[in-house]
């Protein structure tokens, strides 16, 4: 038999009984980084059905919603319940320099990977500088 000590176990059980939900927050850990001309976002969503993942972009806000359901029947007596189930959501505020029309997403091995290319107008570009060797004459 598995035994562990958790000072919040009774509080979790009480809140679950009263509100029908687990008191622990549903987290969606994230990494974000830029690699070349692409901005990457990676979100951990282990055990989530890919069909439950919903991505939307509105006014430069990327919203991610997903749901994980328990694999055990409700009539089963749970001995330890540390895994979080239910709805997960996260919002990411995107800069104006990203091309949200070319956003792509892939879900593999419990990780949602989102790629956002940098917009063409935001990429660094070289500016040529002209020179004029003509001297101006000042009227006296």
Cα–Cα distance measured from residue 56 to residue 28, given in angstroms and rounded to the nearest whole number: 16
What does the pLDDT average to over 113-132?
82
**Which band of pLDDT confidence, cut at 50, 70 and 90, is reported for residue 69?**
confident
**Calculated CA dihedral for residues 92, 66, 51, 119, nearest 10 degrees:** 0
Phi, psi of 115 (to 5 degrees): -120, 130
32, two tokens: 């974000």
Res 15: pLDDT: 64
User: What CATH class is the domain 25-71+83-120?
Assistant: mainly beta
End-to-end Cα separation, the chain, in angstroms: 103
Measured from the Cβ of residue 64, the count of other Cβ atoms closer than 10 Å reads: 21
Q: What is the pLDDT of residues 71-118, one digit of tens each?
A: 888 788 888 877 778 888 889 998 888 899 999 999 999 999 999 998
What does the block give as tokens for 65? 């919603």
Q: Give the H/E segment covering residue 12.
A: helix 9-19
The pLDDT, as a whole number, for residue 39 is 92
Is 111 in contact with 45 (CB distance < 8 Å)? yes
Q: What is the pLDDT of residues 18-33, one digit of tens each?
A: 555 554 445 688 999 9
List the domain boundaries for the chain.
25-71+83-120
Q: Are 22 and 84 in contact (CB under 8 A)?
A: yes
Please give the torsion angle defined by the CA atoms of residues 107, 53, 85 and 16, in that order, rounded to the nearest 10 degrees. Answer: 160
pTM of the model: 0.68
Quick: pLDDT tens for 33-50. Answer: 999 999 999 999 998 999
């Amino acid at each position: 038999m598995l035994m562990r000590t958790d000072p919040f176990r009774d509080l979790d059980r009480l809140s679950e009984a009263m509100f029908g939900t687990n008191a622990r927050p549903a987290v969606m850990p994230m990494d974000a980084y830029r690699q070349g001309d692409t901005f990457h976002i990676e979100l951990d969503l282990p055990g989530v059905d890919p069909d439950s993942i919903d991505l939307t972009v509105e006014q430069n806000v990327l919203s991610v919603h997903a749901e994980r359901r328990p694999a055990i029947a409700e009539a089963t007596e749970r001995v330890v319940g540390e895994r979080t189930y239910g709805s997960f959501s996260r919002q990411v505020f995107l800069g104006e320099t990203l091309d949200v029309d070319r956003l792509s997403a892939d879900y593999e091995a419990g990780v949602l990977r989102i790629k956002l290319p940098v917009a063409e107008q935001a990429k660094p570009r070289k500016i040529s500088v002209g020179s004029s060797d003509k001297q101006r004459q000042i009227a006296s």
